[in-house]
Amino acid sequence: DGGITQSPKYLFRKEGQNVTLSCEQNLNHDAMYWYRQDPGQGLRLIYYSQIVNDFQKGDIAEGYSVSREKKESFPLTVTSAQKNPTAFYLCASRVTLTGTSGAGELFFGEGSRLTVL
């Protein structure tokens, strides 16, 4: 079945360590997204990528980095510079925005919960 796979589902990190969250999709979608979810704050956009080898900062990019070397993969690195990294991270994808067809919905993975000890 087509879908988005995030791993790991749970991750614990010591302060000062970088961690990388994996996101893989087999939906053949061009665009991929990373959102952070905190209680009572909804989803906030971290980074997004419209095509391979290109990505843009979202609303809360500080302390995070991404890469898009393959269409299927969009890993997120939470660096030690991120002041409060404990959160639930959601990866999503959708077809590329083109004309009026650009209103496609996002398809989400099951999320990764990161806890800083």
Site residues (CB under 8 A) for other proteins?
A: 4, 31, 33, 35, 40-45, 48, 50, 56, 58, 88, 90, 92, 97-100, 102-103, 105-111, 113
Q: For residue 5, what are its two tokens?
A: 């796979």
The residue count for the chain: 117
Q: How far is the CB of 78 from other proteins (least distance, A)?
A: 19
> H helices within the chain, ranges in order?
none
Q: How far is the CB of 33 from other proteins (least distance, A)?
A: 6
Say which amino acid occupies 22. S
Of the pair 18, 115, the CB lying nearest other proteins is at 115
Of the pair 85, 109, the CB lying nearest other proteins is at 109
Supply angle C-alpha 23, 11, 22, rounded to 5: 10
